[in-house]
Amino acid sequence: MSSPTPDRKALEDLWRLRLHDAKLRLDLARNYLKEFLEDFSLKDLSRAEGKFAWQEAVRAESLAQREYSRLRRVYRDLTINGVIPDEGEWLKVQAASG
- Whether 16 maps to a domain, the answer reads yes
- Whether 67 maps to a domain, the answer reads yes
- Whether 76 maps to a domain, the answer reads yes
DSSP state of 85: P
- Whether 68 maps to a domain, the answer reads yes
- Whether 1 maps to a domain, the answer reads no
Arithmetic mean of pLDDT, 65-83: 96
Q: What is the DSSP code string of 12-35?
A: HHHHHHHHHHHHHHHHHHHHHHHH
Cα 62 → chain centroid: 9
pLDDT band at 3 (very low <50, low <70, confident <90, very high): low
- Whether 17 maps to a domain, the answer reads yes
pLDDT of 4 higher than 70: no
pLDDT tens, 51-62? 888 999 999 999
State residue 55's pLDDT score.
93
Arithmetic mean of pLDDT, 41-46: 74
| 64 touches 25 (CB < 8 A) | yes
Count the domains in the chain.
Answer: 1
Residue 88: which domain range? Answer: 6-97
- Whether 59 maps to a domain, the answer reads yes
Arithmetic mean of pLDDT, 44-68: 90
